[in-house]
Amino acid sequence: MSRPPAPEWAVRALADVYDPCCREKGISVVDMGLLRSVTVEDGHARVELLLTSGWCPFASRVLDDVEDAVRAQPGIESCAVEIVWDEVWSTDRLSESARRLLRFLPEPVAVPDRDAYIAAHTRGGRS
């Protein structure tokens, strides 16, 4: 089932909400690609989130922070935040800025010369 993108107001509201694992790097739940959808009906918001792992020890904190941020928006009287399990989170959901900050490496089979790759992608060629 195709879902509409999250409304811009929700994206802005959640741009300052962080998974505790990513706060230090300044990567929001939006940049992590955790936000799947936001719908509003009669002042009640419903937010769907994906988790990077079903074992995330901070899931309840993230849910509370997302709820608080959405509920604080004009016209929102209540908010339910749900984790969805019918879609798997992957690094493809990361924003470009999050990808740069996390410096994900390509699959090993895509890098024939590991040392050359690292030298080309680090400051001064140092790992």
**Residue-wise pLDDT tens digits, 60-106:** 889 999 999 999 999 999 999 999 989 888 889 999 889 888 876 66
Q: How many domains does the chain have?
A: 1
pLDDT at 79: 97
Question: DSSP secondary-structure letter at 90?
Answer: -
> Is residue 58 in a domain?
yes
Domain interval for residue 15 = 8-93
* Cα dihedral: 28, 32, 36, 40 (round 10): 10
pLDDT at 125: 54
pLDDT at 124: 61
Distance CA 74, CA 89 (A): 30
> Is residue 35 in a domain?
yes
> Is residue 122 in a domain?
no
pLDDT at 113: 87
70 Cβ contact list (under 8 Å, min separation 6)? 10, 13, 14, 38, 45, 47, 76, 79, 81
> Is residue 2 in a domain?
no
> Is residue 37 in a domain?
yes
The answer to whether residue 2 scores a pLDDT higher than 80 is no
**pLDDT (tens digit per residue) in 11-59:** 999 999 998 888 888 999 999 999 999 999 999 999 999 988 777 777 7
Q: For position 50, which CATH number holds? A: 3.30.300.130
> Is residue 38 in a domain?
yes
> Is residue 118 in a domain?
no
pLDDT at 104: 65
> Is residue 53 in a domain?
yes
Q: Minimal CA–CA distance to 52: which of 15, 7, 102, 11? A: 102
6 Cβ contact list (under 8 Å, min separation 6)? 14, 35, 37, 38
